[in-house]
Every structure is written in C-alpha cells, then in structure tokens.
Amino acid sequence: MADPQPHTARLRRRPHRPGRGCAAAAGRGTPQGQAGAGAPLSDARSVPSGVRRARGPQPGPAGLAGAGTAVRPAAHGLPRRTVPGRRRGVVRRLPRTVRPPVRLGDDARPAVRRPVRTRLREVACGVRRVTAANHSGDGDTGGDGNYGGGHGCEPGGKGSDAERARLAALRDGEPLVEFAGGSTPYIDYQSIDVLLSLQQPRSDAPAELPFYVLGQVKELLFKLLYEELVRVRSLLAEDEVWQATWVLRRVQREAGLLCSTWDVLGSLAPTEFNAFRDSLGQASGLQSYMYRMVEYVLGNKDPRLARPHLGVPGVAEQVRRALEEPSVYDAALALLARRGAPLPATALERDWSQPYAPSDAAERAWAQVYAKGGAPGGGPSRPESGGELFWLAEALADVAEAMCRWRSLHLLTVERIIGTKPGTGGTHGVAWLRRVSEHRFFPDLWAARGRL
C-alpha cells in the first residue's frame, strides 16, 4: 500500500535532545523537492511550547528557500562544502526553486528582498527560556549572570543601561562567555550562521572565495544605499532638508566603503581570475537588481536594464517600483520649486520611468542656491541663516562624485584583470564600462559650476 504521506515518510526522525538549542529545535531540513514551509516536523517535541515553526513564504535570494534553519545551495552537482563555525544541519541541498513573493497591501512599499531569514531567533529564545528556568528555577541569572535577561529575548532583558550596568557589576567587568541554548546573542542578532552558510564558490580556485565574498559585500552595501536614499527622498518631500542632508552625509561614506571593495578585487592577478572565470557562466554584476535599484533611485532610469529581473518572483515588482517612482533628484527639484525656483513643468511632472533630461532652468536654480547660500568668505552659510539648500547641494554632489568613483574604479579594475576581453554578461567589457562611467548623476548640479 502506498504511503498516504510520502513527504513525511522520507523525513529522518531524530530523538529530542534537550540543550541542543537552535540546531535541534530549528535545524531540520525538508525532503528533496519540498518547499518546506508548513511541512510537519519529524518530532514536534523538539520545538518548545508556545514557539511556532516558520510558515508561509520565506523570501530570499533566487534559488534559495528557507525551512527552519535549512539554507541550501541552489547549484546542482556541487559537493557540500564545510563552512567554518557552521553547526551541522544548517546547509542542505535544494532543487533550483524560487520562493513566491510576499504579498503586501496596495498602499505599502515593498521592502527590499530580504536574505533568507528563519525563525532561528524565536526558536532559540524559547529554548533559552526553558533552559534558564531549569538552571535557576525562576528564569533569572541562575547565580552566574549568564541566564535570563542577558540574552535579550524577554522584554525586560532586551537591553538597557541599567541591565548592562547590573551584568558588568555582577561579573566585575568580565565579558559574558557562557550562554544557554546552543547559540549566542550575536549569532542570533546578526543571523551569522545563516550569513556564513551562503558562500558557495563553484570552483576550487583559491582566488574565487575573495571574489565571491566581496560580491556579496557589495550587494549588502547596495541594499544599505538604496534604503538610505529612499529615506532621503521621503525627507526631501517633507521639507526636512537638514535631516536629508545629514543622511546624505552618511550615504557618501557608505559609497566610499563600496569603492574600497575594488582595492581588494584589484589585487587579483589575471591568472588567478582566469582560474575560475569560466565558472561564472553568464553571471555578471550587470544583473544585480539591488544595484539597478540604486541607479534608479539616484535618477539614472533605463527601462531596458529592468528586463533581466522581470521574470524573477519577488524581485520584478521591487525593480518596477524603483523604476516608476521619483528619484532623489526629482525630490530635490520639487523642493527647489516649492522654495520659489522657476522650474518648468517638464522637470516636475513627467514620466518618472524615463531618463531625466538636463534643464537650463534647473541649472540656473542651483547656481542661485550657491550664490545666495554662500557666506562672505565663499563657504556655506549656516543652515539657520538660509544656507540649508547650499548644504544640500554639496551633499548631493558628494554622493554623485562617490558613485562616479565607484564606476571609474570598476572600469580600471576590469581593464587591469581581463584587458579588452568581452564581459560575462554579453557586453564588450571595458568598452561598455568606459561609456557608462561618463554618465553623471544630478547633471544640473555639475553644470551649475560653470555659472558661478
């Protein structure tokens, strides 16, 4: 007789072992070919009472799906790799599937597609509550200052100056080194075990690991830049000019950190890169949807470059929204118009998905900002003295320059490593990058210098 529940029959049962923490409570994978969300656990007793298993879509990078803490490589035919510091049962093999996008309300802005996230923290906190109670009888410090509020799971132990002072006094300033539940607060807060399980180079070439890791570092910075720039756009729309300028100050430093990734990648010799380049196939940074969204929010709208992402569930909608929404520069021009700048309607009411056309009126408006907002010595006036638009203009110029540096360093690094070879994404390589590097974000700001 056929098994009425074949998907559960293939699960390997494991006895519950108290104290294993996240690896025991949430580390079970799903059978090959199953999405995993909502599948029954092989041993329901492994999850503490009151803690629910993650259900529903768990969005993540294309080709990955999350079930509990099972995060598995999407590439077929690859040997399993040992990740230093990774607990057993965290990385397993998945078929090449993509999770459906999370459905949001019509009035909600979809969040940037998140990395694979699990209920690791929730399950771990439940395990710690049980373990702490077993040690101390009441869930408090248990005599050594390591249980109870120190893990940050309970509302009272989430973190406060008073709690930190109590723990420091209790341990005479020595760091906490023992934690219940098989994890640490840092691992749970940063999802470190999940993060470090996502590096899956496709060759045995030693130089592929720095190339791979730096690629993921860049993607995280793209995400950070996009979220920060969306906030700047909102602040400008609300006439919070000084707050927007403050955030742009940080964005410029984040873009500088992004530029520094080329210092590491530029250290690869051509022979080192060629040792694994064929493993990339047609993968190219040109296909980075987070970088494309950064370009869009900065104002470089090219609808053609959204096409690679239109068939990717959970990504297509985000890229489309970034393309069709106003850019940071559009918000800055609208601010100038509200402050009395005579800008044409073509610069203020247009199809946001199309590239911005430089405007003489906008150029003159920025020149006026510099003329009126400057102090007698040539520097900017204080914001409270009417110089806030001057500071905003310079902050926007700082970000534009940093992104130009990013492109220029990209060009130099590629030319140094592969010369004039074609790129993996179908372009002519250096010739394409040289043309792209000539573009300037916020073009009227650059042109306004010639009027001063």
> Is 245 annotated in some ligand binding site?
no
Indicate whether 163 and 232 sit together in one domain.
Answer: no
Q: Is the pLDDT of residue 318 over 90?
A: yes
Q: Whole-angstrom Cα distance, residue 8 to residue 5? A: 6
> Is 118 annotated in some ligand binding site?
no
- Domain residues for the domain of 138 are 16-28+63-69+112-197
| Cβ atoms within 10 Å of 373's Cβ, excluding its own | 22
Mean pLDDT lowest among 125-134, 215-224, 388-397, 427-436 = 125-134
What pLDDT score does 381 carry? 65
Domain final residue pick, 173, 197, 221: 197
| 155-172: pLDDT as tens digits | 334 789 999 999 999 999
Indicate whether 262 and 188 sit together in one domain.
Answer: no
What pLDDT score does 159 carry? 85
Residue 433, in any domain of the structure: yes
Q: Whole-angstrom Cα distance, residue 295 to residue 301? A: 7
Indicate whether 244 and 132 sit together in one domain.
Answer: no
Indicate whether 187 and 276 sit together in one domain.
Answer: no
DSSP calls for 50-80: T-PPP-S----STT--EETTEE---STTPPP
> Is 424 annotated in some ligand binding site?
yes
SS3 83: coil
Per-residue pLDDT band at 382 (split at 50, 70, 90): low
| 31-76: pLDDT as tens digits | 443 444 344 333 433 444 444 444 444 444 444 443 333 443 444 4
Indicate whether 294 and 180 sit together in one domain.
Answer: no
Of 190 and 98, more confident: 190
| 267-312: pLDDT as tens digits | 999 999 999 999 999 999 999 999 999 999 999 999 999 999 999 9
Indicate whether 284 and 184 sit together in one domain.
Answer: no
Residue 128, in any domain of the structure: yes
Q: Most confidently modeled of 65-69, 189-193, 377-381?
A: 189-193
Indicate whether 215 and 145 sit together in one domain.
Answer: no
Residue 389, in any domain of the structure: yes
Per the structure, how many domains does the chain have? 2
Q: What is this structure's pTM?
A: 0.68
Q: Which long-range contacts (CB under 8 A, 24 or more apart) does 12-16 make?
A: 12/42, 13/42, 13/43, 14/42, 14/43, 14/46, 15/43, 16/43, 16/45, 16/46
What pLDDT score does 377 carry? 63
Per-residue pLDDT band at 378 (split at 50, 70, 90): low
Q: Is the pLDDT of residue 122 over 80?
A: no
Residue 308, in any domain of the structure: yes
Give the mean pLDDT of 355-367: 95
Indicate whether 259 and 399 sit together in one domain.
Answer: yes
What pLDDT score does 372 carry? 86
